[in-house]
């Protein structure tokens, strides 16, 4: 109960102070968020271990036949790492040929392909977003066979700003569609974009009031989307949570939100089995980030 109250107190402070240069009018969202948090216990995560220093900003993970592949943010190298889910140690490094890495942020696996989204856009001024399609095969190197270059369809100005809706770190790939959930620094909602992998047409869809900065997405066993997000105050992360999104008539809607116990910056989630997941967190130093386990079984009973 004390941790829940602490989370709510931090969240209240964060909603008011998350952007000093452009204060947000989040009074209504703040009340809605507090109501939601009071309806759920905290999801407690357990530390597995610390990644080696080359994985200091784990921003994505995928599960390929129980092989856990991670992606590191903040690197210009086109590399992935297979990690040991028991120790957080690196098993092998995989070179991703015929790609470049400006700011890789989202990693997904579907239909025997790995998808890497180079969509990091902290200041909102990028005009060169990319999605790479890479057939997966075991070994030290995989090769990109298709690159889709795009911009957000509703963006007309590309001026650097610290408060904008055009950053993104979360993606799902199903069939021939890549769905992106924006990291919205202007109003703490997430905007949904859908990219047709065949026609390369991207469209903007619904906007969901998650009251947070979305960092990764994964499907749960029932077909809902688990969306990671966090809020910060003075550059330090205080509040992490997951938002469970259900789909109705092809549109995502917020079903419920659950606070996460740790106050580190969690940026990656991957499904393991049942309602069990692994989480990857960034490090505040040049040391490796942390690998955590999460069991959401109690929230589905």
| pLDDT tens per residue across span 195-242 | 999 999 999 999 999 999 999 999 999 999 999 999 886 666 668 999
Enumerate domains of the chain plus CATH numbers.
Answer: 2-300 (2.115.10)
Quote the pLDDT of residue 31.
40
CA distance 247 to 92: 37
Quote the pLDDT of residue 33.
46
pTM, full prediction: 0.87
Q: For 278, how many CA atoms within 13 A lie in the half-sphere containing its CB?
A: 26
Quote the pLDDT of residue 226.
98
CA distance 287 to 52: 7
Residue 136 has pLDDT above 80, yes or no: yes
Question: Which of these ranges, 16-30, 39-53, 90-104, 166-180, has the smallest mean pLDDT?
Answer: 16-30
Quote the pLDDT of residue 292.
98
b vs e for 140-157, b when ≥16 Cβ sit within 10 Å of the residue's Cβ?
eebebeeebebebeebee
Three-state DSSP class for 248? strand
Residue 274 has pLDDT above 60, yes or no: yes
User: What is the overall mean pLDDT for the chain?
Assistant: 88
CA distance 173 to 180: 9
84 — phi, psi (to 5°)? -85, 115
Note whether 281 and 73 are within 8 A (CB): no
Which residues are within 8 A (CB) of 90 and not within 5 positions of it... i.e. 6 or more apart? Answer: 51, 52, 54, 55, 81, 82, 83, 84
Residue 3 has pLDDT above 80, yes or no: no
CA distance 267 to 168: 12
């Amino acid at each position: 109960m004390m941790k829940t109250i602490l989370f709510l107190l931090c969240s209240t402070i964060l909603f008011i102070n998350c952007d000093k240069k452009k204060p947000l009018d989040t009074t209504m969202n703040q009340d809605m968020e507090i109501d939601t948090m009071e309806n759920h216990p905290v999801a407690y995560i357990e530390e597995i271990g610390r990644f080696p220093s080359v994985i200091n900003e784990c921003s994505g993970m995928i599960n390929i036949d129980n092989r856990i592949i991670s992606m590191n943010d903040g690197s210009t190298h086109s590399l992935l790492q297979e990690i040991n889910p028991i120790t957080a140690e690196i098993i092998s490094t995989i070179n991703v040929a015929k790609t470049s890495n400006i700011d890789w942020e989202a990693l997904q696996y579907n239909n025997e392909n790995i998808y890497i989204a180079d969509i990091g856009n902290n200041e909102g001024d990028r005009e060169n977003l990319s999605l790479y399609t890479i057939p997966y095969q075991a070994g030290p190197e995989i090769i990109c066979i298709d690159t889709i270059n795009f911009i957000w369809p509703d963006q007309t100005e590309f001026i650097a700003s610290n408060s904008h809706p055009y950053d993104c770190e979360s993606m799902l790939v199903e069939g021939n569609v890549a769905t992106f959930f924006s990291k919205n620094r202007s109003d703490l909602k997430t905007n949904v974009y859908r990219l047709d992998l065949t026609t390369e047409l991207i469209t903007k869809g619904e906007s969901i009031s998650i009251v947070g900065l979305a960092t990764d997405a994964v499907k749960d066993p029932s077909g809902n989307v688990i969306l990671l997000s966090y809020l910060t105050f003075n550059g330090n992360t205080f509040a992490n949570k997951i938002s469970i999104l259900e789909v109705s008539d092809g549109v995502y809607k917020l079903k419920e939100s659950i606070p996460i116990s740790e106050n580190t910056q969690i940026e990656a989630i991957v499904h393991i089995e049942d309602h069990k997941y692994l989480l990857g967190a960034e490090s505040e130093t040049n040391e490796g980030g942390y690998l955590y386990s999460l069991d959401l079984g109690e929230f589905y009973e």
